[in-house]
Structure 1
């Protein structure tokens, strides 16, 4: 694997949230990510008011300390400070000074898994007022982006296998509407590998076929089975996009170009 892949979503920093539990696990994860081909990792611990209070200053300091340790260990990764911002009523007041996805105008945002679409369009307007745009984490895992919502039909990805319905259409879906409004979407490699279940995997494949993803992330929380997840997810992406298309997605080229 090349070493120019970018992981836009990773819980690598030790003991900040539900990610790596200690430095030893962080180093194990870092070695795995580097061996796979990542050269840059965005460290994105949860930022949830009343839960994980990982404000930007704390994350920046943790990244600086971790980067020094990686350098001392000879692990070739460049760490970038970030957050996984939880979409709730407190998020708007956190936007000033928030950590973006590198040099872009995008902020990584986690939509509550069982939220409806009513939260999403006001979010886009609020971000725009701060010169920002949402980079929505793993939309394939969120009910708000279920393509069945566009048709009002109670169906899931399972119906594709059973042959009872055709593939859901995305033209009128919320995920397409939000992309037109300036949102971008980050897919989880684990979703393609089936780590979150069959329906999430099928939704991820649907979104990938329709070109909705601008980047991917490991969303790595633990060192256990991380390698298998990365390899499995990449092989699925490559099977659909081809080698160059898969590498372009993992390099973050589309996000850098605003696509």
Structure 2
């Protein structure tokens, strides 16, 4: 499986706190059936002020450590970018880390606030699409605005967004409501990718294997392969 959302890089956001934890997370990912993992630390202006100059060397060091430990996991890097007014500026100055490409557009993991969908969201999404950037929205199933108004999922999808649902949402790790929304999204064919969004090995572990089995059971093996393997592989060019 190809896991395009993780907080495995040590010490730069609310994910892995140490290299030891990062290596444990890498091994857990392998045990869950993941062969490729994208490292996507938060770029959240004023909270986690990460940028390319911070992320890249942290990634290179972890890549070396994983190789030295003999863990059979290939990693890449990008970032989970919180929606804010700086995104167009970062784009114009070459400061946005992209995950890869999808249908000719560069893929940006664009995070909404957990509390709501900001009024300016549609304007930014349209601007990004017009500038050759494909927004991939992580964990929409955990947005409280969407809990109250599920029709916003279709609104975002119709604008051109891709959706990445968290594996743990499908397994029930975030509660029954989030699980129900995730399964409804599966039934409505609104999910483009499933990823772990792993932050550690216990509280936010890698649930990819269990989630794959759920999707294969409630959807089909073909759908599971698309969400966990073929679409993410297309984005990263594997």
- Scaled by the length of structure 2, the TM-score of the pair is 0.88
CA contact (8 A) 1:84 1:109 kept: yes
Residue 246 of structure 1 aligns to a residue in which SS? helix
Q: State the 1:149 CA deviation.
A: 2.3
Cα deviation, 1:88-141, whole Å, max 9, x if unaligned, reads 223222223211113441100110011235232112122124310210000100
> Given the alignment of the two structures, is residue 237 of structure 1 paired with residue 235 of structure 2, yes or no?
no
- Scaled by the length of structure 1, the TM-score of the pair is 0.82
Q: State the 1:228 CA deviation.
A: 7.2
> Given the alignment of the two structures, is residue 209 of structure 1 paired with residue 199 of structure 2, yes or no?
no
Aligned residues: 230
CA separation in 1, counterparts of 2:206 and 2:133? 35
> Given the alignment of the two structures, is residue 11 of structure 1 paired with residue 7 of structure 2, yes or no?
yes
Q: Gaps spanning 5+ residues in structure 2: where?
A: none
Matches within 5 A, 1:91-110: 91-96=87-92, 97=94, 98-104=96-102, 105-110=106-111
Q: State the 1:85 CA deviation.
A: 0.5
CA contact (8 A) 1:12 1:26 kept: yes
CA separation in 1, counterparts of 2:205 and 2:198? 10
CA separation in 2, counterparts of 1:248 and 1:201? 20
Q: State the 1:175 CA deviation.
A: 1.7
Aligned to 1:49: 45
Q: What's the Cα RMSD here?
A: 2.0
CA contact (8 A) 1:10 1:42 kept: yes
Aligned to 1:166: none
CA contact (8 A) 2:43 2:82 kept: yes
Runs of at least 4 residues of structure 1 off by over 4 A?
225-228
Matches within 5 A, 1:213-228: 213-224=191-202
Residue 122 of structure 2 aligns to a residue in which SS? helix
> Given the alignment of the two structures, is residue 134 of structure 1 paired with residue 135 of structure 2, yes or no?
yes
Larger radius of gyration: 1
Q: Gaps spanning 5+ residues in structure 1: where?
A: 151-172
CA contact (8 A) 1:215 1:252 kept: no
CA separation in 1, counterparts of 2:206 and 2:3? 16
